[in-house]
């Protein structure tokens, strides 16, 4: 009986706490703030690095696994640089995910900014030289080796500006959200 009373009391207390917490006002962020968002998915060119195994390496392997030439495949990484006015806010390498590093490249960045007018520059550059037959550019699958967007943008309070990659036009685009 005592156990049942304890369970009822704990449940009632949790429900009361939930009811009180649901009435607490929540704001989506700092009042008057604006955001620069970068969000896109892009396919990169295939890269392959091959090397010959040494005699010692081959000797350590079972007979059925003794391949002299070993190749690692993946996709080329890109460097993302975002400058607002003369300040570099993002400078990082975007590499593919997955166990084999062969997935598309994903960019997700949110940069809070005060409302105002800014000179925006977004540069997305492939970091590895790729043989033309592996670039995927001819058939439109891979992103170009260099993408750049330079614009003047006006951010108003509570608004966001989105930079995204248009796969059909093969360029970076700017979208002002409402």
Rounded CA gap, 18 and 20, in Å?
5
In tens, the pLDDT along 41-96 reads: 998 888 777 889 999 988 998 989 888 888 878 888 999 999 999 999 999 999 88
Q: Kindly list the domain boundaries of the chain, sorted by start residue.
A: 32-45+76-176
Tell me: pLDDT of 138 over 50. Answer: no
Which residue has better confidence, 133 or 51?
A: 51
The region of weakest confidence among 69-78, 112-121, 134-143, 146-155 is 134-143
**What pLDDT does 26 receive?**
60
In tens, the pLDDT along 26-41 reads: 655 555 689 999 999 9
Which residue has better confidence, 72 or 137?
A: 72
Q: Which CATH number fits domain 32-45+76-176: 3.40.50, 2.60.40, 3.90.480, 3.40.30?
A: 2.60.40
Q: Which tokens sit at 112?
A: 């809070």
Which residue has better confidence, 58 or 138?
A: 58
Q: How far is CA 70 from CA 64, 99, 145, in A?
A: 14, 17, 27
> What's the mean per-residue pLDDT of the chain?
86
Q: Which tokens sit at 8?
A: 């009822």
Quick check: 89 and 111 in contact, CB under 8 A? Answer: yes
Q: Which tokens sit at 80?
A: 């993302």
**What pLDDT does 108 receive?**
96
Element (DSSP H or E) covering residue 113: strand 105-113
pLDDT band at 113 (very low <50, low <70, confident <90, very high): very high
Which residue has better confidence, 148 or 22?
A: 148
Tell me: pLDDT of 17 over 50. Answer: yes
Strand partners, 149: 122
């Amino acid at each position: 009986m005592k156990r049942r009373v304890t369970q009822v009391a704990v449940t009632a207390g949790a429900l009361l706490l939930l009811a009180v917490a649901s009435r607490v006002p929540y704001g989506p962020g700092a009042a008057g703030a604006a955001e620069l968002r970068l969000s896109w998915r892009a396919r990169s060119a295939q890269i392959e690095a091959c090397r010959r195994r040494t005699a010692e390496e081959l000797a350590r392997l079972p007979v059925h696994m003794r391949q002299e030439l070993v190749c690692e495949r993946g996709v080329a990484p890109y460097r993302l640089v975002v400058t607002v006015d003369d300040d570099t806010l993002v400078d990082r390498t975007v590499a593919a995910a997955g166990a084999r590093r062969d997935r598309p490249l994903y960019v997700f960045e949110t940069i809070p900014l005060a409302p105002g007018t800014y000179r925006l520059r977004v540069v997305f550059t492939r970091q590895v030289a790729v043989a033309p037959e592996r670039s995927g550019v001819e058939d439109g699958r891979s992103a170009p080796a260099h993408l750049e967007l330079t614009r003047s943008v006006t951010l108003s309070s509570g608004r966001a500006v989105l930079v995204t990659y248009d796969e059909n036009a093969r360029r970076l685009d700017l979208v002002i959200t409402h």
